[in-house]
Copies of this chain bind each other. A is one copy, B any other.
Amino acid sequence: MSQNGFSIKHIEGKSRVGTLKTSRGIINTPAFMPVGTAGTVKAMLPENLRTIGADVLLCNTYHLMLRPGEEIVNKLGGLNKFMNWKGPILTDSGGFQVMSLANLRTISEEGVIFKSHVDGKKFSLSPETSISIQKKLQSTIIMSFDECTPYPIDKSEAEKSMKLSLRWGKRSKNSFGRNSDSLLFGIQQGSMFKDLRKSSAIGLTDIGFDGYALGGLAVGETQEKMFEVIDFSIDLFPYNRPRYLMGVGKPSDIVGAVLRGVDMFDCVIPTRSGRNGQAFVEEGTINLKNAKYKNDDLALDPTCNCYCCNNYSKGYLSHLVRSNEILGSILVTWHNLSFYLNLMKDIRSKIAEGTFTDFAKKF
């Protein structure tokens, strides 16, 4: 286990405010990680991510191993130097993307063989190669290699998949070794089945990780179902380790999951929506392509203090979005990430004050 560590500063019900110390700095939790798939959070400068309150970014092993390749990233100084981001970076294991390649991949006990979506070249990923690639990328938080179980699925298939992920988790841990500045997180599977989620959590805790992720969620189930899985899973994880809900989600998903004890999140929603002219505001989302914004001289959210809201009208943003101007993607992404990161800041201060449960119920 690394010397880095997780400290819980405040609790309210199952919700926690904490700090995760990493070799690249501290992550304040509950934390939202902007997604920088290919080594860049699309349309954002790293300095501006820091300014709006991002402590940690997520990058995708799958995309980076295909292009430019982990050897090149390593030669150019590792992911942090490569992309000019000084803070922690969490890399996923590549498993999730590979599983979604459907016909282009074959799974065995050893790992997965697949074809690149970039040029059709053959690649393989196993617990050992995934960890080795993430080490070459110089990731701060490494995810163990798992199979993201499809949904919906029969219980017997879900069990086979969960057990494979556990064996892969063990191999990931062995491959990770003992002397690393990085942290290693394990990933729970088991689909929506309570006893499988339980076996998975117990198995992972036995192996021992620096953090525990809930995998195989946000794959098409309802929010209610997802919350149910979190409810019966969360207490199975070691209390003093961070819990990460992968690929989630909408603001209401995040608030509900924090209420249930989750500490970390990542999602492409704010960035992808930003590039599509969809903006997050207090009342929900607004589509800047809607004709009524053409003449609107107000900011996206007059109470928001981000660069976009301080300097531009909805009328201008609507014009940029309609004209497919890059600045439209930049500004709406900037606002959306600010919205998400401000939400996390609010959540942290409300837990510290003991008012988060009320806030979450009204949300």
Residues 305-355 (chain A) with a chain B CB within 8 angstroms: 311-313, 315-316, 318-320, 322-323, 325-327, 329-330
Interface of A is mostly: loop
A75-134 interface with B by 8 A CB criterion: 75-77, 82-84
Residue among B39, B67, B312, B322 making CB contact with A84, cutoff 8 Å:
B312
- A43 lies within 8 A of chain B by Cβ: yes
A98 to chain B, nearest CB (A): 18
**A252-268 residues at the B interface, CB under 8 angstroms:** none
Does A68 reach chain B (CB closer than 8 Å)?
yes
A319-B67 CB under 8 A given contacts A45-B330, A295-B72, A325-B42: yes
> In the assembled complex, how far is the CB of residue A76 from the closest CB belonging to chain B, in whole angstroms?
5
Interface assignment of A21: CB less than 8 Å from any CB of chain B:
no
- The reply to whether A316 and B75 contact each other, CB–CB distance below 8 Å, is no
Question: Which of B40, B76, B316, B322 meets A83, CB within 8 Å?
Answer: B316
Q: A68-B319, A320-B40 are in contact. Are A76 and B313 (CB under 8 A)?
A: yes
Query: Considering only CB atoms and an 8 Å cut-off, how many residues of chain A contact the other chain?
Result: 35
Q: How far is the CB of A256 from chain B (nearest CB, A)?
A: 32
- A295 pairs with B75, CB closer than 8 A: yes
Are B326 and A68 touching (Cβ within 8 A)?
no
A residues whose Cβ falls under 8 Å from a Cβ of B: 38-40, 42-45, 67-68, 72, 75-77, 82-84, 275, 294-295, 297, 311-313, 315-316, 318-320, 322-323, 325-327, 329-330
Complex A-B: 16 CB contacts under 8 Å: A43-B326, A43-B330, A45-B327, A45-B330, A67-B319, A67-B323, A68-B322, A72-B294, A72-B295, A72-B315, A75-B297, A75-B315, A82-B313, A84-B312, A326-B326, A330-B330
